[in-house]
Every structure is written in C-alpha cells, then in structure tokens.
C-alpha cells in the first residue's frame, strides 16, 4: 500500500509544492535544478497511489546532503516518514552526509548518527542602499564555469558541477562574480522565490567583497524582501545582516554523520540552500 519510488523530473513539482506548503519558500526553478544535481536522489512515498511524502538524498561524489524531508500533515506519526528516510539514507550509503534540520528534531537525527556542528540562521530584510558597483563585479556566464566550480570546491565539500551550471545560469537567477587578476575572489546568486528573493551561495575572500556582492545582488530584488542564510558564529556574516538591519527568521541545526568537512567556513556569507547544502 505504501511504495517509495524515485521522483522523475516532472514529479519534482510535488516536492516543491510540499516545501511551499510548509512555508519554506522555495525558488521558482528549484525543482529542475535540484533534480539535475542527482537524478537518482529524490524520493516520493505513495500511499495507495497518492503521493504523501518526499525526501532528497543527493550525492556529491563522496559527500551527500539530505533535505526536503516532508510528510503531508494528515499522514504524520504513522511511520511513513521513517520509511522514506531509511530509503534515502540507504541510497547514500556510508559517505559523510549533511543536513540542516529543525532544532526540535536534533535528538532524532542523533539516533541516525548525525552530530551537531553549528547553527544555520535565516535572516530577512529589504535593501534600499544605492551603490556604485565595483568594476571587479561581473555577470557570471558559462565561460567562467570551470572557475566557478573550482572556487566552489573551497567552500563546499563535494563536487557539484552539474548543480552549479543550472544554479548560476538560469532565467530565474542572477549570478555575479568578483573577478580580480583573472581569479574569482567571490561569487553569489540571487533567485526569485514564491515570496521575495534568496541570496545563496555568497562566498567571498574578504568581508568587503562579500558586502559588495551582496549589495550588487540585492539590486535585482527591486525592493522586495531578501533572505540570507548564514552560519551561526561567522562574525563577518553576522555583521553583514546586522549592518543592513535584517531580521532573524528561524534557526536550523547543521549536522553531519562524520567529521565536519574541510572548507573555508569563514568565507561563507550565504549558504546555498537549506535543502541541498
């Protein structure tokens, strides 16, 4: 009666709808881009043929991330969530797995072998600052893809070139690079969501570059609400949201099954997405 199947690209609309219904405010093109990250990593639970649950378990080489873990409200507390959770974890195997979970579920994730490493905080605000954009800030295009992938590898523990291609070059997204002396020293994406815009990733070598990119990206929101997800304890990122009077919305718990991966954590001014890492 309850079957768990791999989601097709067309069925990604169901996962995004559940996320929207949970008020997670996904991006308008998240389903397609998410799917391309790992076409085998999305699952739907169907009860008598009716989709009632979903989860993402996406592999990035020897690293993985779990997200979009949702069961429709009428079907919660009946074991359907645990079953689809086990399906995703079984697919990922014994590699290091990360997730951003709600604090209330930390104990349950502990039982599955996840350890808490830091909080992840969402902030929201409107940015109305008029700026002169630095000549080092340029639009991203596909000629820079290899550089984008290389720069991303300093900040994200897995290889996600397919995901980055769809994330950076997308009609619903605007992507900018800080390009200096033929090197990328910062990059960021802002995407249209069901409500406002989200910035992520936002990686930068310095606080000045991070702020400049954030302000340049914010111009695309045209006064609508902007959301930025940061690592709790990253002082430069915390200073950024404080400076522009952004409001804390909620907190997640970043957890891993193994050691915290090596990355330039202090240079992460905006997490790419709570759903896929």
pLDDT digits (tens, 9 = 90+) for 198-254: 999 999 999 999 999 999 999 999 999 999 999 999 999 999 999 999 999 999 999
CATH class of this structure's domain 2-102: alpha beta
For residue 234, report the phi and psi dihedrals to the nearest 5 degrees: -80, 100
Q: Among 3.40.1360.10, 3.40.50.300, 3.20.20.10, 3.40.630.90, what is the CATH number of 122-270?
A: 3.40.630.90
The closest of 267, 273, 236 to 254, measured between CA atoms, is 273
Cβ-proximal residues to 166 (8 Å cutoff; 6+ apart), any chain: 32, 33, 36, 37
pLDDT digits (tens, 9 = 90+) for 177-188: 999 999 999 999
Q: How far is CA 23 from CA 17, 20, 43, 195, 209, in A?
A: 10, 5, 20, 10, 31
* pLDDT band, residue 128 (cuts 50/70/90): confident
pLDDT of residue 206: 98
Region 74-100 average pLDDT: 97
- Residue ranges of the chain that CATH labels 3.40.630.90: 122-270
Q: How many CB atoms are located within 10 Å of the residue 277 CB?
A: 26
- For a pLDDT cut of 70, what percent of the chain falls above it? 100
**Which helix (H) or strand (E) element contains residue 226?**
strand 226-231
- Residue ranges of the chain that CATH labels 3.40.630.30: 2-102
Is the pLDDT at 130 greater than 80? The verdict is no
Q: How far is CA 80 from CA 21, 31, 87, 164, in A?
A: 19, 23, 11, 32
pLDDT digits (tens, 9 = 90+) for 12-53: 999 999 999 999 999 999 999 999 999 999 999 999 999 999
Region 157-164 average pLDDT: 96
Question: What gap in Å lies between CA 74 and CA 77, rounded to an integer?
Answer: 9
Q: Please tell me what DSSP assigns to residue 159.
A: -
């Amino acid at each position: 009666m309850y079957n768990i199947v791999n989601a097709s690209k067309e069925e990604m609309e169901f996962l995004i709808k559940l996320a929207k219904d949970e008020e997670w405010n996904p991006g308008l093109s998240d389903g397609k881009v998410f799917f391309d990250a790992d076409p085998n990593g999305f699952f739907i639970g169907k009860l008598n043929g009716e989709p009632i649950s979903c989860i993402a378990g996406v592999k990035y080489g020897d690293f993985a991330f779990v997200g979009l873990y949702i069961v429709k409200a009428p079907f919660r507390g009946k074991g359907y969530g645990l079953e689809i959770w086990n399906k995703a974890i079984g697919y990922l195997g014994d590699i290091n797995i990360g997730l951003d979970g709600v604090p209330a579920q930390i104990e349950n994730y502990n039982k599955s072998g996840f350890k808490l490493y830091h909080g992840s905080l969402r902030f929201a605000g409107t940015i109305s600052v008029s700026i002169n954009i630095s000549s080092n800030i340029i639009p991203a295009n596909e000629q820079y893809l290899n550089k984008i992938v290389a720069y991303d590898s300093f900040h994200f523990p897995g290889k996600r070139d397919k995901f980055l291609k769809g994330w950076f070059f997308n009609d619903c997204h605007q992507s900018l690079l800080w390009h200096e002396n033929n090197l990328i020293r910062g990059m960021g994406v802002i995407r249209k969501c069901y409500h406002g815009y989200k910035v992520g990733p936002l990686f930068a070598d310095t606080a000045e570059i991070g702020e400049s990119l954030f302000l340049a990206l914010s111009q695309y929101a045209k006064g609508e609400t902007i959301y930025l997800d940061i690592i709790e304890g990253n002082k430069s990122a915390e200073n950024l949201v404080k400076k522009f009077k952004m409001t804390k919305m909620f907190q997640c718990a970043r957890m891993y099954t193994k050691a915290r991966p090596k990355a330039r954590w202090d240079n992460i001014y905006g997490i790419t997405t709570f759903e896929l890492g």
